[in-house]
Amino acid sequence: MQALRSIPRLASVVEMMFADLHLHTNFSDGTYTPEELARRASELRLAAVALTDHDTVEGCERMAAACARASLEFIPATELTAEVDGTELHLLGYFVDTQNPRLLTEMSRFQRVRQNRIREMVARLNQLNIPLQADAVFAIANCRSPGRPHVARALVMGGFCSNLDEAFERLLKKNRPAWVPKFKISAVDAIELIHQADGLAVMAHPGLNRADEIIPGLVRAGLDGVECFHTKHTPTSSEHYVRLAKELGVLITGGSDCHGLNKGKPLIGTVKLPYEYVEQLKAAIARRKSNASAPPSALRTSP
């Protein structure tokens, strides 16, 4: 009797559990340390979080330890910048093996590209008579995966811009004078890179791309999911992507894309992904693992 009564209660607890699967730390362009981020997640009573720093998994070890101390479920992940037919898109890799040699080699290449791009952006700023030094940007970034937000912060700290928005609007946005294009891996290669590192590949914030026509091709290339819930998606566009993900038979994810105090207020927890979607991600990973360990004959559908 006792056990029977606890079943609906357990179901309602799961229904009230939420995750935020898109978060950045100061290992890329966020401002929180992994420990600060885990503490915020715990205060917000999130059930699970994923760390999705750009082109790095370096923060995952500390984040995993901090989440374990707070009894918070942690999913190691990353966010890769990729392109398809000239369109930039971001691919999230969930549950990647953070020790995977090929992933680490490729990421260190992406990080070198980022560092060289900072030098090029600073050279352009210097041509505009803004005497910023690359070392000032690297000191602010203090990580291997620096990006434009660090240049923006350096511009504000140096008194060259009054705020981060102005730095982007006047200088760093695409086609502004200090903008430098970034090398991007092809989306198909990025999906393969995530898969060989045992991860699930998910298209981040498709609402920012407004290029839904590329999604079915990505699914054919192995894309596992779509980030339907995101800070910059309206409720209507979230519903649209949930419908599209269901039609295409792929996973549904979501997260706030919190960069700490970089973009005004911290966004962590403002996008609440129902925990059932985390369970679906975990089930997909379990299926992938059991398929990988099954003998080839068990995978054959016909004799």
Interface contacts to Fe ion, rule CB under 5 A: 29, 90, 204
Cβ atoms of residues 224 and 201 within 8 Å: yes
Task: Give which of 69, 90, 92, 87 is closest to 20, Cα–Cα.
Answer: 92
Which residue is at the shortest CB distance from ligand AMP? Answer: 147
| Chosen from Zn ion, Fe ion, ligand AMP, none, partner binding at 263 (C-beta under 5 to 8 Å by type) | ligand AMP
DSSP 141-180: H-SSS--HHHHHHHHHHTTSSSSHHHHIIIIISTTSTT--
C-alpha torsion 201→204→210→216, nearest 10: 20
CB of 263 to ligand AMP, least distance (A): 5
The Cα-based distances of 92 to 77, 95, 230, 268, 290 in angstroms read: 7, 10, 13, 17, 22
| Chosen from Fe ion, Zn ion, ligand AMP, none, partner binding at 184 (C-beta under 5 to 8 Å by type) | none
Q: What's the rounded Cα separation, in Å, for the pair 279 and 214?
A: 27
- The smaller minimum CB distance to ligand AMP, of residues 147 and 207, is found at 147
- The smaller minimum CB distance to ligand AMP, of residues 115 and 126, is found at 115
3-state secondary structure of 196: helix
- The smaller minimum CB distance to ligand AMP, of residues 51 and 219, is found at 51
Interface with Zn ion (CB under 5 A), residue from 53, 224, 227, 257: 257
Site string for Zn ion, 64-93 (x = CB under 5 A): ---------------x--------------
- The smaller minimum CB distance to ligand AMP, of residues 147 and 255, is found at 147
CB of 63 to ligand AMP, least distance (A): 18
| Chosen from Zn ion, ligand AMP, Fe ion, none, partner binding at 164 (C-beta under 5 to 8 Å by type) | ligand AMP
The Cα-based distances of 146 to 26, 103, 152, 293 in angstroms read: 9, 18, 11, 38
Binding site for ligand AMP (CB under 6 A): 29, 54, 147-149, 164-165, 168, 182, 263
CB of 293 to ligand AMP, least distance (A): 37
CB of 28 to Fe ion, least distance (A): 6
Q: What's the rounded Cα separation, in Å, for the pair 247 and 208?
A: 20
- The smaller minimum CB distance to Fe ion, of residues 26 and 100, is found at 26
Which residue is at the shortest CB distance from Zn ion? Answer: 257
Footprint of Zn ion (CB under 5 A)? 79, 257
